[in-house]
A and B are shown apart, each in its own frame.
Chain A
Amino acid sequence: MNLLKKSLLKSPWVFHLALSPCNNCDIEILDVLTPRYDVERFGVQLVGSIRHADILLVTGVPNYKNWQKLKYLYEQAPKPCFVVAVGTCACGRGVFKDSYNSPCSVDEIVPVSAYIPGCPPKPEAIIAGFAKLINVLSKK
């Protein structure tokens, strides 16, 4: 079993889930995946289907149009699957806290395993967040 767990940490495939962000966080995530920061070194790969995902990268604030879809997508993902909130919006709604179109924050809908604050977070911060998540999971 230990080998399986180790390989889970060695190849986390990420699925990019945008809940109406302002697009800056998404661009930073793309930055992490492209050659300059090259997270394939750690086995991280961007996948197109939720069925292949190990980590959901959530950006943006849930609104009335999509908050149920977040829940639905999380249920669709094969477990074990971890949610990472990227950006202040996804961490705690930021300035949109009292907005008319903001029912709740991400962690009230699905369990969030790691928060990466910043508006938008630097690519280095996102990689550091990954590293911390993997560290914590490997101790479990």
Chain B
Amino acid sequence: MNVLTSLFLYLFFPGFLFSFMLSVICGYVDRKLTARIQYRQGPPLLQNLYDFLKLLAKEVVVPQDANFLFILAPFISLASVILASTILWTAIFFKKGFVGDIIVLVYILTIPSIALILGSGSSNNVIASIGVAREIKLLLSYELPLITSLLVAILKTKSLKLVEIMHNCNVSVETVIASLIVLITLQAKVGLVPFDVSEAETELASGVMIEYSGLLLGLIKLTKQIMFSLIPAFITGIYYYKGGVLAFIIKYILFLILMTLIRNTNPRLKIDQVIKFCWFILFPLALLCVILTLIKTV
């Protein structure tokens, strides 16, 4: 792959443009479904696009004591999430990749949270700092079960290449449990409702995002949206890839609906409950799956 094709991949097809459009559609499905669950009508199809364009037109307010990280962080998080979606969708569409790309993917997917922590922490706002503290605890709690349950797929297929994992991973008890754990932990990564402790509109007034406005807020929201549209593809790709194109689309939509349902039927946990849940329930479960896989494969 030369530079031009990689640039094309990054900017247009599986990269920025594609994931932007997909995120608008996924956002619509999410919001409309939420509205129907609450007996409401819900927003129009392009609502997320309107929101983003509106935020572009607004003034950007930078707090007096903020340093350059405040402005840089949203750009870094968007760039990294687009890179992650390029790697994942390239593996799905073109069956291309490199050895170890699943590790790279896991690393890249943590960058948005870290960027948000740095940017929001530099804004010198008290409420933002509470949000930052919670975001750090959240990051520490969900990464452990996430990586452990990804290990199930890696050990099962004995490969670190995304394409090979996709084509060799058969559905079994441990992969189903592991995929559900990944679903829940990734839900925490995007900050959806049972785990939205760092945003917490009602108690922290949108927490980590409180000082962001205009374009910067739009970029952060877009990052979350793209990540949201990436999760079903991630889970379907790694654990349930076998089957045709149609099967992939159906599984993608099913996981999307499942995520929306989880977010609509659960109350927000407290931060200590999140840590306990991730470390003492999800992590032993994931470890059990790893042991099961080892027993089966050896």
A residues with a Cβ closer than 8 A to B are 3-8, 10-11, 35, 38, 40-41, 43, 47-49, 51-52, 54, 76, 78-80
B266 at the interface (CB under 8 A from A): no
Known: A4-B53, A43-B44, A52-B213. 7 other contacts (CB 8 A): A4-B56, A6-B50, A11-B47, A40-B31, A40-B42, A48-B210, A52-B212
Instruction: Give the number of residues in B that approach A within 8 Å (Cβ atoms).
Output: 34
With A38-B41, A78-B59 in contact, is A51–B47 under 8 Å at CB? no
Please tell me which one of the listed residues A6, A11, A80 contacts residue B51 in the complex, with CB atoms under 8 A apart.
A11
Find chain A residues with CB under 8 A from B49 CB. Answer: 7
Nearest chain B CB to A81 CB, angstrom units: 8
When C-beta atoms are compared, the residue in chain A nearest to B38 turns out to be: A35
Per-residue A-contact encoding for B34-66, CB less than 8 Å = 1, 0 else: 010011111110010111111011111100000
When C-beta atoms are compared, the residue in chain A nearest to B47 turns out to be: A43
Contact B57–A4 (Cβ < 8 Å): yes
Find chain A residues with CB under 8 A from B35 CB. Answer: 38, 40
Find chain B residues with CB under 8 A from A48 CB. Answer: 201-202, 204-206, 210
Contact A10–B47 (Cβ < 8 Å): yes
Nearest chain A CB to B77 CB, angstrom units: 17
Bound together, the chains give a CA A64 to CA B206 distance in angstroms of: 29
Find chain B residues with CB under 8 A from A43 CB. Answer: 43-44, 47, 50-51
Nearest chain A CB to B39 CB, angstrom units: 5
Query: 28 A-B Cβ contacts within 8 A?
Result: A4-B54, A7-B51, A7-B53, A10-B47, A10-B50, A11-B47, A35-B38, A35-B40, A38-B40, A40-B31, A40-B43, A41-B42, A41-B44, A43-B43, A43-B44, A47-B206, A48-B201, A48-B202, A48-B204, A51-B212, A51-B213, A52-B213, A54-B54, A76-B61, A78-B58, A79-B59, A80-B58, A80-B59
Nearest chain A CB to B97 CB, angstrom units: 37
Contact B54–A51 (Cβ < 8 Å): no
Q: What are the 7 tightest A-B residue pairs by CB atom distance, in nearest-first order?
A: A7-B53, A48-B205, A51-B213, A4-B57, A78-B59, A10-B50, A7-B50
Bound together, the chains give a CA A51 to CA B218 distance in angstroms of: 12
Contact B40–A40 (Cβ < 8 Å): yes
Bound together, the chains give a CA A80 to CA B44 distance in angstroms of: 23
Nearest chain B CB to A40 CB, angstrom units: 5
Contact B211–A5 (Cβ < 8 Å): no
Contact A78–B61 (Cβ < 8 Å): yes
Bound together, the chains give a CA A52 to CA B210 distance in angstroms of: 8
B214 at the interface (CB under 8 A from A): yes
Find chain B residues with CB under 8 A from A76 CB. Answer: 61
Contact B43–A51 (Cβ < 8 Å): no
Bound together, the chains give a CA A3 to CA B49 distance in angstroms of: 11
Find chain B residues with CB under 8 A from A54 CB. Answer: 54, 58
Find chain A residues with CB under 8 A from B204 CB. Answer: 48
Find chain B residues with CB under 8 A from A80 CB. Answer: 57-59
B209 at the interface (CB under 8 A from A): yes
B217 at the interface (CB under 8 A from A): yes
Find chain B residues with CB under 8 A from A6 CB. Answer: 50
Bound together, the chains give a CA A51 to CA B211 distance in angstroms of: 6
Bound together, the chains give a CA A40 to CA B30 distance in angstroms of: 13
Find chain B residues with CB under 8 A from A49 CB. Answer: 205-206, 209-211
Bound together, the chains give a CA A110 to CA B51 distance in angstroms of: 26
Find chain A residues with CB under 8 A from B210 CB. Answer: 48-49, 51
When C-beta atoms are compared, the residue in chain B nearest to A48 turns out to be: B205
Nearest chain B CB to A82 CB, angstrom units: 12
Contact A78–B214 (Cβ < 8 Å): yes
User: Which residue among A4, A40, A41, A79 has the maximum number of chain B CB atoms within 10 Å of its CB?
Assistant: A40
With A38-B40, A40-B42, A78-B58 in contact, is A52–B53 under 8 Å at CB? no
